[in-house]
Amino acid sequence: MVKTCEFVTPKHPDKMCDGIVDNLLDAYIAQDPTSRVALEAMGGHGVINVSGEVTSSATVDVKEIVKALVGDAFVINSTISQQSPEIAQGVDIGGAGDQGIMKGYACSETESRMPREYELARNLCKKLYEQYPYDGKVQVTINGEKVIAVVASFQNSKNDELSTLVRSIIQADEYYINPAGEWNMGGFDADSGLSGRKLIIDNYGPEVTIGGGSFSGKDYTKVDRSGAYMARKIAVDYLKKYQASEVFVKLAYAIGRAEPLMRVAVVDGKEIQITDYDVRPQGIKNFLQLDRPIYAQTASWGHFGNGFAWDI
């Protein structure tokens, strides 16, 4: 089967925005672990806009944190209000902060229990970023065990040098190195970015279905994030427990309700009900210790397969 996956560096405008809101989330949680945070960021061309809802006893200088990440040359606009009291009343009793569908996945084809095409793309992107710590992206196409094509576009790179480095990392039938030409303008100077826009990269690549909710900028009461993390943990555990090749996990929630409406795992094609985990928001928080400032590290290289608590 032919499969393709892409990956982008932490200096890609979308991932910069993910990093902004996850650093802000960590700042709130570091002072107040009960903080409720739902932030979005949009940036580009000298302006960063942060918007959303925060209910917390913490005192956080939003503009200073953002400037520490992007530099002093940006105008920082911040529009943050408290969480809606109608939403809060359901969360206060342990309910989910929103309705939604969460997916988890694990497979046996790589040590990280992630899809092979995903790991190839991520590994290539990481190694290129060590040499070129700028905006950039890669794409890897495989057919079974064979790598058919590799695409690499990196800011501030020379084609010959980048080509040599790519070929030393991964063998492929065809290479496309800066296919639109060498480029020096990247990041927020060349393009705008938005948090939550790289969902497939954040999850498992395009071959695995996702629930659709974004992760970055949200505390654990937003089951878009915590439910997806728990679904990954269950998938990993079931992969080991049943010595399976592939596990899909599906959870679904109603706003204000703690118990999920769907809690199903598909283990090598066989569907089973999940009864051995507490998948209520509070239970997930306690099990994975999600009330700690751990989120900034998830914003750069994907939320799964990186040795986080939900990967082990």
Predicted TM-score (pTM) of this structure? 0.96
For 14-84, the fitting CATH number among 3.90.1150.10, 2.60.40.420, 3.40.50.970, 3.30.300.10 is 3.30.300.10
Tell me whether domains 2-10+115-189 and 14-84 share a fold. Answer: yes
Q: What is the pLDDT of residue 307?
A: 97
Other CB atoms within a 10 A radius of the CB of residue 111 amount to: 8
Q: Are 178 and 191 a contacting pair, CB within 8 Å?
A: no
Q: What is the pLDDT of residue 89?
A: 75
For 100-111+202-311, the fitting CATH number among 3.40.50.2300, 3.30.300.10, 3.30.360.10, 3.90.950.20 is 3.30.300.10
Q: What is the pLDDT of residue 33?
A: 96
Q: How far apart are CA 267 and CA 56, in angstroms?
A: 40
HEC-encoded secondary structure of the chain: CEEEEEEECCCCHHHHHHHHHHHHHHHHHHHCCCCEEEEEEEEECCEEEEEEEEECCCCCCHHHHHHHHHCCCCEEEEEEECCCHHHHHHHCCCCECCCEEEEEEEECCCCCCCCHHHHHHHHHHHHHHHHCCCCEEEEEEEECCEEEEEEEEECCCCHHHHHHHHHHHCCCCEEEECCCCCCCCCHHHHCCEECCCCHHHHCCCCCCCCCCCCCCCECCCCHHHHHHHHHHHHHHHHHHHCCCCEEEEEEEECECCCCCCEEEEEECCEEEECCCCCCCHHHHHHHHCCCCCCCHHHCCCCCCCCCCHHHC
Tens of pLDDT, residue by residue, the chain (312 residues): 999 999 999 999 999 999 999 999 999 999 999 999 999 999 999 999 999 999 999 999 999 999 999 999 999 999 999 877 767 777 887 888 888 999 999 999 999 999 999 999 999 999 999 999 999 999 999 999 999 999 999 999 999 999 999 999 999 999 999 999 999 999 999 999 999 999 999 999 999 999 999 999 999 999 999 999 999 999 999 999 999 999 999 999 999 999 999 999 999 999 999 999 999 999 999 999 999 999 999 999 999 999 999 999
Q: How far apart are CA 163 and CA 246, in angstroms?
A: 35
Q: Are 26 and 230 a contacting pair, CB within 8 Å?
A: no
Q: What is the pLDDT of residue 66?
A: 98
The CATH class of the 2-10+115-189 domain is alpha beta
Q: What is the pLDDT of residue 268?
A: 98
- Give the start-to-end residue ranges of the domains of the chain: 2-10+115-189, 14-84, 100-111+202-311
Q: What is the pLDDT of residue 90?
A: 75
Both structure tokens of 216: 């970055």
Q: Which is nearest to 125 in space by CA: 15, 237, 246, 17?
A: 15
Q: Which is nearest to 80 in space by CA: 39, 48, 44, 43?
A: 39
